[in-house]
Amino acid sequence: MDDERSYWLGFSAFPGIGPLRFKLLLSYFGSAKKAWEAGEKELIKIGLGEKLVFQFNAFRRKISLSGYFKEVQDKNIKIITLIDKNYPLLLSKIPDAPYVIYVRGNLDWDLQNSIGIVGTRKITSYGREVTKKLTAELVNAGLTIVSGMAYGVDTVAHETAVEYGGRTIAVLGCGVDIIHPLSNRQLYWKIVERYGAVISEFPPGMIASRGLFPARNRIISGLSLGVLVTEGASDSGALITARYAAEQGREVFAVPGPITSHFSKGPMMLLKQGAKLVTEIEDILDEIKIEGNDQRLKFKKTDKITDIKLSKEENLIIDILNSENLHFDEIIRKSGIEAANLGGILTVLEMKKIVKNIGGGIYGLER
């Protein structure tokens, strides 16, 4: 690592200097090296604050930059700085782009065709079906899937990308060497070893905490042409990611869900605020373009329904509708499925192009 970049790395290891403060230091001193070597009075003069400068002084006296670089390398972690040619172009365009990202895995492909998929940790069967279907088709369209490897929607998005042989980036709210949640250990290593990368702006060893996730969310949106929220409550963290996307000039997409579901309130709120409604993959592809190319992304639909597994309830409804079209109430009577759940299941089947709403509450199979 060259001399200047080693100082970038050093600053990234200190928790008190984020992207905006680092930008201020570069602007004032002209280089990270000069900022690192600056005296206390100069640092206070530009507005860092006495307490922060005191903490930084103690930090830079203690750390060995060459030793820290070796420690990172020994953990098979790559370092990409904002001035490196392989820094993700879309991410570099946001005003608070991380000046260093730590990477495990492979980022050596065109990252301009990426989409973020986020949502609730407490995913429902409806959310799972919708997330899996849309993720599979986005992978089929050649898009990289970006998410945060949290429970629920994030995990389903990453797992589906892996299952369909796509590329995926997991952005962590902790050090890149920490698997969080631990239950995603297998998924983590699949991504790292074959299907993409796990990245973080936080230094190795930093433990996940609630306060780090909003910062993580801006990177998910920053890496993406747009962000898709498939399911989430009105206070879901996914809405923070959607807000960042809007602020960064990226598209915001939302999937409508059953109005009786608590976990449909987030997407419904976004739709009321102007997010693009998504019921099929074309709703996304019609809005995004390959960067630097006027051609829209090409999408090839899967020919077989069985490419997306059907649940027991979905198969039951297909059997019921196989001989005749039926009203919603009649489907409830024959299936025994509660109305609140049936609406979501029918919506998923419509998105899969298996069932169609004929009108007047009557449903039938696509023929």
- Which structural domains are found in the chain, ordered by start? 1-72 (1.10.150), 114-285 (3.40.50.450), 310-365 (1.10.10.10)
Q: Which has the minimum average pLDDT: 52-66, 156-170, 289-303?
A: 289-303
Per residue in 91-103, pLDDT tens? 999 999 999 999 9
What pLDDT sits at residue 294?
A: 39
Q: What is the pLDDT of residue 82?
A: 95
Asked whether residue 304 carries a pLDDT value surpassing 50, the answer given is no
User: Which residues partner with 102 through β-bridges?
Assistant: 79, 200
Most confident of 114-118, 293-297, 303-307, 311-315: 114-118
Question: pLDDT by residue (tens digit) across 110-144?
Answer: 678 999 999 999 999 999 999 999 999 999 999 99
DSSP structure string for 317-346? HHHHHSSS-EEHHHHHHHH---HHHHHHHH
Does the pLDDT at position 153 exceed 70? yes
Q: What average pLDDT does the chain have? A: 90
Q: What is the pLDDT of residue 345?
A: 86
Q: Look at residue 298 in the predicted model and tell me its pLDDT.
A: 46
Exposure string over 166-175, b if 16+ CB within 10 A, otherwise e: bbbbbbbbbb
Region 214-238: mean pLDDT is 95
Token duo for residue 48: 């860092």
The predicted pLDDT at position 132 comes to 96
pLDDT of residue 70: 95
**pLDDT class for 184, splitting at 50, 70, 90?**
very high
The pair of structure tokens assigned to 185 is 């250990």
Confidence grade of residue 367 (pLDDT, cut at 50, 70, 90): low
Q: Would you say residue 337 has pLDDT above 60?
A: yes
Is the predicted pLDDT of residue 108 greater than 70, yes or no?
yes
Categorize the per-residue pLDDT at 347 as very low, low, confident or very high, splitting at 50, 70 and 90.
Answer: confident
Q: What is the DSSP string of 128-180?
A: HHHHHHHHHHHHHTTPEEEE---TTHHHHHHHHHHHTT--EEEEPSS-TTS-S
More confident residue, 349 or 203: 203
Instruction: Give the pLDDT confidence score for residue 229 in this predicted structure.
Output: 98
- Strand ranges inside 246-297, DSSP E: 251-254, 276-277
Look at residue 28 and tell me whether its pLDDT is greater than 60: yes
Question: For residues 185 and 309, which has the higher predicted lDDT (pLDDT)?
Answer: 185
pLDDT band for position 308 (50/70/90)?
Answer: low
- Listed in sequence order, the DSSP H helices in the chain are 3-12, 19-29, 32-37, 40-45, 50-62, 65-74, 89-92, 125-140, 153-163, 185-190, 213-222, 238-247, 265-272, 282-285, 312-321, 328-335, 339-351
Q: Which has the higher per-residue pLDDT, 309 or 332?
A: 332
Segment of 43-57, 276-290, 323-337 carrying the highest mean pLDDT: 43-57
Binned at pLDDT 50, 70 and 90, residue 207 comes out as very high
Report the pLDDT value the prediction gives residue 295, as an integer from 0 to 100: 39
Nearest residue to 36 (alpha-carbon basis) of 75, 71, 73, 64:
64
Q: CA–CA separation, 161 vs 84, rounded Å? A: 27
Mean pLDDT of 162-183: 95
